[in-house]
Structure 1
């Protein structure tokens, strides 16, 4: 395959400009002026295939919401060629047998599908999994995402083991003891709804604990789906102190505020919740100064029946793979907060490097994982490759129409 006249943007090398790309045997053979017939993309952006380190494909156990195949289709439609699934499945991915069963299914996927292992057995928060065994068996990291880890002694032990194994730990930061109704920010909106909700302090106290433990141990720690402005400040402080702390943010947290709950109901309910405009502005500042260096969707499919109930009883989470790039361009690039190169860095090489994935870059000899899109062309969000449709962005027009997603040298999505 030859891709002609693509405007390559590669955040790892800084390469930017019009080039051809020759692909052979799943790898990039040559970048430059290449003779021969090919796919002429007419100056559209050719970027590394996007990398999402935080998705839920719901397999095993919840395949009425999503499965590896439909999740992969959704990812490919959004320009993603590598994703990392979370372990809050049924059964949990906390032992080698379940892990290998997942990885065997993932081998047949059209994109690169990885998974973390649970950090503790059955997410009990008390007994660490055999981290070395799970790493050898194919896990790329560890997280009890969905269930915050409360036991500081266990977290300290996990971080010490993570240093020995040189592997990242990812944490869902919400203290359940400080929350009455999860998924909705505690503030003016929740009071209007006569719901107490989840105050930002529930996130802040756990972030404060974990960045300090990271500083103490030297562990690589990923603060997942950051939502509180105070937590952004805590991460910024820890980085200045020399901690190996990373932060990821979802597109919905840099796009929406808790007022969206009044308009969209359960389609704007997620953990951690959408917060105030001040929090959103502090998140954007964190993206600008690289306190937050990763954008991850927390793609969380739920069925229409599950979401279409009383707000406090509906599950938290929205799908995000098919709208992530468009929201990033609209909210961050077109509004002047980030360049397109900077946005793509947070969606490609930065997440890939945290998890030691061979992904997120364009280079001769490197993987032929690419996304080709027009950042100026809008498309309407109306149909989805995901099994689920739980998003507040349905019906909106977004920039960044994707024309091709290529993984391992094969076209896996055509727009």
Structure 2
């Protein structure tokens, strides 16, 4: 069975024409190609399927918030063909049996869902997992996301073990003692709303520790959801010194800062919090100059009940898979701040390259993961169209230009409008 996408713009190859897919892989790029199934790409643009190394699908244990099926559907709706799920579920995938159970569930959806295993037992302890066994079971790498690893010796041992296995450590960077139960950025906003604040140093102090440990162990250290100017500076210096560090930034930290919060609104509660304008601009600069390698959504769905009331008590997190491309394209590409090629790199090629994934390229022989977008489509963010169970987002009602219209993973349509 073959499929041809006809008359589609392919900016990464600088031509408009046809794409032939056979046996789940790209077979040819050219003109007047023939296939068993025809997809009309007139007026559309073909991009490498998006890759997100940081999502929360909540299954098992929290399926009222999301399931692997609904999360994968949301990802496909947003143009993502490969995602990597975090391990803050119940039971935690800190052993082979529970890890294999999750990977079987991940395999049942129409996109590629990889899985992080926990760094420590229960994700918050200091007891090491059997990393070698989890690698043999298919672990993408190790993370305690949702909590920072508080004990330096625990992190050092984990980095040493992961490096020996040639697998990455992904860090939720947060010193809980310095966080002091904060819920918004420390400073004027916290005082205005009379809410406890999270200082920048809660992130940067632990990041500084981790970068020193990464230098000592030579592990691939991945810094999750960077939010402060101090963190950007630390990562820039570490890269210059040869530390094997990659870093991600979220769409919401690129699109918003604390000045966008005008009331005690749980839709804006996320961890790390929206920071100052200076932090926000440092993130954009860090992405532009390569200090920050990629954009990852940190898609964090919650029930409506989880996100009601005050930011003091509501859950941290927002959804992002279904809105990321449209919002980022509108904010950065239509304004000519960045090019489409840059955005595609951060959403697809860069994460694939950083983690050695067979994704992010439209070339013959590669897996046929492709996202078709209408760059002229205009609308407003409408959560009634979402496939995620989570509707927790401050972007609902925001206008956009550019939309995903079809997502193909391994040659099969994973979502179409």
Q: With the length of structure 2 as denominator, give the TM-score of the two structures.
A: 0.96
Residues 1:64 and 2:74 are matched in the alignment: no
Residues 1:173 and 2:161 are matched in the alignment: no
Aligned-partner SS, 1:312: coil
Contact kept in structure 1, 2:265 and 2:310, CA below 8 Å: no
Q: Aligned residue for 2:399?
A: 397
Displacement of 1:148 in angstroms is 0.6
- Cα shift readout 1:194-227 (whole Å, capped 9, x = no counterpart): 1231011100101111112112221111110000
Structure 2 Cα separation of the partners of residues 282 and 331 of structure 1:
16
Contact kept in structure 1, 2:182 and 2:195, CA below 8 Å: no
Q: Aligned residue for 1:348?
A: 348
Residue pairs, 1:115-264, within 5 angstroms: 115-263=115-263
Aligned residues: 411
Q: Evaluate the alpha carbon distance shift between residue 312 and residue 358 of structure 1 in structure 2; reply closer, same or farther with a 3 A threshold.
A: same
Structure 2 Cα separation of the partners of residues 371 and 315 of structure 1:
32
Structure 1 Cα separation of the partners of residues 128 and 249 of structure 2:
26
- Cα shift readout 1:368-402 (whole Å, capped 9, x = no counterpart): 11100022322321121101100011111212211
Contact kept in structure 1, 2:348 and 2:359, CA below 8 Å: yes
- Cα shift readout 1:353-374 (whole Å, capped 9, x = no counterpart): 2322211211111111110002
Residue pairs, 1:354-369, within 5 angstroms: 354-369=354-369
Match of 2:411 among 401, 409, 412: 409
- Cα shift readout 1:151-189 (whole Å, capped 9, x = no counterpart): 111111111122211111100111110123333101111
Specify every segment of 5 or more residues in structure 1 that has no aligned partner in the other structure, as ranges. Answer: none
Q: Aligned residue for 1:102?
A: 102
Does 329-338 or 227-236 show the bigger shift? 329-338
Displacement of 1:133 in angstroms is 0.8
- Cα shift readout 1:289-323 (whole Å, capped 9, x = no counterpart): 01111100000000011111222110100000001
Q: Aligned residue for 1:28?
A: 26
Q: Evaluate the alpha carbon distance shift between residue 107 and residue 380 of structure 1 in structure 2; reply closer, same or farther with a 3 A threshold.
A: same
Residues 1:90 and 2:90 are matched in the alignment: yes
Displacement of 1:43 in angstroms is 4.2
Displacement of 1:9 in angstroms is 3.4
Contact kept in structure 2, 1:284 and 1:337, CA below 8 Å: no
Does 140-149 or 390-399 show the bigger shift? 390-399
Contact kept in structure 2, 1:248 and 1:294, CA below 8 Å: yes
Displacement of 1:263 in angstroms is 4.5
Aligned-partner SS, 2:400: strand
CA RMSD of aligned residues (A): 1.4
Displacement of 1:19 in angstroms is 3.0
Structure 1 Cα separation of the partners of residues 278 and 209 of structure 2:
23
Structure 1 Cα separation of the partners of residues 326 and 183 of structure 2:
24
- Cα shift readout 1:32-57 (whole Å, capped 9, x = no counterpart): 12333732312421011100000000
Structure 1 Cα separation of the partners of residues 247 and 415 of structure 2:
29
Does 190-199 or 231-240 show the bigger shift? 190-199
**Runs of 4+ off more than 6 Å:** none
Structure 2 Cα separation of the partners of residues 348 and 370 of structure 1:
10
Displacement of 1:228 in angstroms is 0.4
- Cα shift readout 1:248-279 (whole Å, capped 9, x = no counterpart): 00000011111333257110101100001111
Aligned-partner SS, 1:21: strand
Residues 1:8 and 2:6 are matched in the alignment: no
